[in-house]
Amino acid sequence: MRLGDDALHALGASKFTDDPVPPADCLYLQPVLSTVAHGIIEQLDVSAAQDLAGVVRIFTAKDIPGSNQVGNVAADEVLLADKEVVYHGQPLALIAAESADIARQAADLVQVGYRALPAVFDAREADRLGLHIAPKRVFGCGDLDAAWPKCALVVKGTAASGAQEHMYLETQTAMAYPTENHGLKVISATQSPGMTQRIIARVLGLAMHQIEVDVLRLGGGFGGKEEQATPFAAMAALAAFKCQRPAKLTLRRGEDCIITGKRHPYVANFELGLDASGKILAYKVDFFQNAGAYADLSLAILERTLFHAGNSYYIPNMQVGAVSCRTHLPPNTAFRGFGGPQAMFVLESAIFEAARTMGVEASEIQRRNLLQAGQSFYYGMPVQHCQAESSWVQAESDFDWERRQQAITTFNAEHPLQKKAIAMMPVCFGISFTATFLNQADALVHVYADGSVSVSCGAVEMGQGVKTKIAKLTASTLGVAEHRVKIESTNTTRIANMSPTAASTGTDLNGQAVRIACLEIKRRLLKVAAGLLENTEIGDLDIVDERVYCLDKPTDIHWRKLITQAYLSRTALSAQAHYATPDVFFDRSVNKGHPFAYHVYGCASVEVTVDCLRGRYSIDRVAIVHDDGQPLDVKVDLGQIEGAVVQGLGWMTLEQVIYDADGRLLTDSLSAYKVPDLHFAPDIEVRFLDSADNPPGLLHSKAVGEPPLMYGIAAYFALVKAIQAFNPNWQADYHAPMTPERVLLALYAHQEPHA
């Protein structure tokens, strides 16, 4: 029996881009990287490298036959730097050699001379200098000027969140093969095969139909392979095209860390106004995004920040400003949450500061301001099918927050050198691409003469279980066993112009297209069945458990017989379908519209224990009520929730990206950059929201990839509360991550000396 994608993973039998044995004539590639963050290239001498035995060719910008341009959203990013270097680690040249070792040796022999230029690494400094990717954008609602005088309390402050390394298991890799008639087949570890195809065609000066991009699966992506896999696929394609030999590029871990961008660091100024009861009346925030050297996806991420600045709360008067600042770091890029987590952290910081000033728990303010049905988001979309309050109420009841807080209070009174705390985090996250045109997908479904089924769509499997869900959906729609269904690799010759697998839309969009195609084939099959049965209408028939049923009673027509009869009667057993998300739009001239198909809600509590002698801490427990609609696959969704939560906890606590004063990455390995491991991972209890439904979703389900990451934000505030239980004199600076070093310093900041 054929194994599903999940079983292949469990057995270690899944194949990835780097696994196939390269052909004997394969070239191995190595980029030559800049060693300064900003400068003019005055010399690029490749002669010594070219003379090394085994070096076949060295490519520079002048060898690119088409356009030296890999920028997608904005055409501002070169494949190989030709005049100016704008970040440390930027590719300058490409070595093609008979082995990877020779290519690396040759790269070290390339001599580069620079005229150094000033470099900027801080977003606020870039803003001061006018270094912007695009002009500032502002969303808003209500009347702030009229609201401030009505506030009993106004708090002001700043908040900042750091970068985050994707640290996928599989580094950036690609392999390209020349085909006949000046064509290429490219095997790429990309979340966006369609965009990779388009950029390669641009770089080589070819038509898109001459480029085939194929993706079997990724060893993790998290957004880091949405845009940033493209340059490496383009390098492999350039070498294969010019040399007419297969070419392969696989980055080592340190190279991957140095070259690629991270989650965007943000800094923000906030001002929050509340009435005496804790009702939020006004919120003003200005975000400064550190985009890095090129636009990449920064503007789309910034827009998502603008959309999620209010999180799960209703705030009648808001002004949300944001600007993307150009710095001399590698271009930062998509990361799970896509600008939403950075926005939510700032508002939660403002709420925490207001609670501190009022002398109440932050949860009181959070609970009082949750969104309600009938209200509207500040960007004009009505709040529909709202589950903000129901998620909170169920979490409060199921996990008995009051009892847990009492236990924490008792523990803290009895343990002078250990302190516990709990914090809550509601989440509201919109599902759709905010670029409306991306909300479309295609599918191609074949039923073969033996009854087996092949499905092609634009969804890229990267560990999130999209193939498992689509196989399950296909089987249930056609009424057959799941083992009959094969989900093919994601390929640009079968699916044209596909949107990236991102924004938690992979199953929603592609699953809808697959379902439409399956329903069309099923309609044709039932027409055949009606012809085999006397006096039968198609509406009376269905296919269940591989048998035709008539008026809910089984007939003698099983699946194989039905397929044989359909083939013999010349009935089409293939179908192509297109799906476009209905009713999504946004008018950027006024920043109003209906940008999302629906929202995902949920609520979590995070409990921590701090060792107040050493500064070490543990995340003890995360308890979640998550709004998942009607789940397509509960096990897949649980895995996604747990993984996202741990990734969010890591961003808030352990993971600290550090560059030196010259823009050189210091945290370029797993010995220098700490990610969550099994010892760090807490007890995670997930309960799905009772009686949840989602009419706009695929079979009433909801997307699950990104929203749970934001639950991890509560860890920061739980740590702050635990520190303050030991050292009441310390006040949070709302700067994440809260690493053990920062915890230790906070525990003893402003302490009175002991006698």
Over residues 16-30, the mean pLDDT reads: 96
Give 753's pLDDT tier (boundaries 50, 70, 90): low
Q: Which domains does the chain have, with CATH numbers?
A: 5-118+166-259 (3.90.1170.50), 266-433+591-747 (3.30.365.10), 440-580 (3.30.365.10)
The pLDDT tens digits of the residues spanning 356-415 come to 999 999 999 999 999 999 999 999 999 999 999 999 999 999 999 999 999 999 999 999
Given a cut of 60, is residue 754 above it in pLDDT?
A: no
The stretches of 399-444 forming alpha helices (DSSP H) are 401-414
Q: For 498, which DSSP code?
A: P
Lowest mean per-residue pLDDT among 9-23, 456-470, 614-628, 741-755 = 741-755
pLDDT band at 752, cuts 50/70/90?
A: low
107, pLDDT greater than 70:
yes
**How is 665-712 classified by DSSP, letter by letter?**
BS--STTTS----TTT--EEEEEEPTT---TTSGGGB---SSGGGGGG
Catalytically active residues, by annotation: 706
Q: Is 566 left (phi over 0), alpha (psi -120 to 50) or beta?
A: alpha
Q: In the chain, what is the straight-line distance between the N-terminal and C-terminal CA atoms, in Å?
A: 74
The C-alpha atoms of residue 510 and residue 442 are separated, in whole angstroms, by 7
Rounded to an integer, what distance in angstroms lies between the CA atom of residue 318 and that of residue 283? 5
Could you read off the pLDDT of 321-332 as tens digits, one per residue?
Answer: 999 999 999 999
Determine the average pLDDT of the residues in 656-681. 97
Edge-to-edge strand ranges of the sheet holding 183-188:
55-59, 91-97, 27-33, 247-250, 173-179, 183-188, 211-215, 490-491
Question: Mapped to the 3 state alphabet, what secondary structure does 363-382 carry?
Answer: HHHHHHCECCCCCECCCCCE
Could you give the CA distance from residue 705 to residue 643 in angstroms, rounded to a whole number? 9
The span from the CA of 36 to the CA of 88, in Å, is 5
Q: Measured between alpha carbons, how far is 665 from 88 in angstroms, rounded to an integer? A: 8
Residue-level pLDDT at 136: 98
pLDDT in tens, 132-164: 999 999 999 999 999 999 999 999 999 999 999
> Could you report the per-residue pLDDT of 345-365, keeping only the tens digit for each?
999 999 999 999 999 999 999
pLDDT digits (tens, 9 = 90+) for 185-231: 999 999 999 999 999 999 999 999 999 999 999 999 999 999 999 99
User: Per-residue pLDDT tens for 237-252?
Assistant: 999 999 999 999 999 9
Question: What was the pLDDT predicted at 1?
Answer: 66
> Distance from CA of residue 551 to its chain's centroid?
45
Q: What is the mean pLDDT of the chain?
A: 97
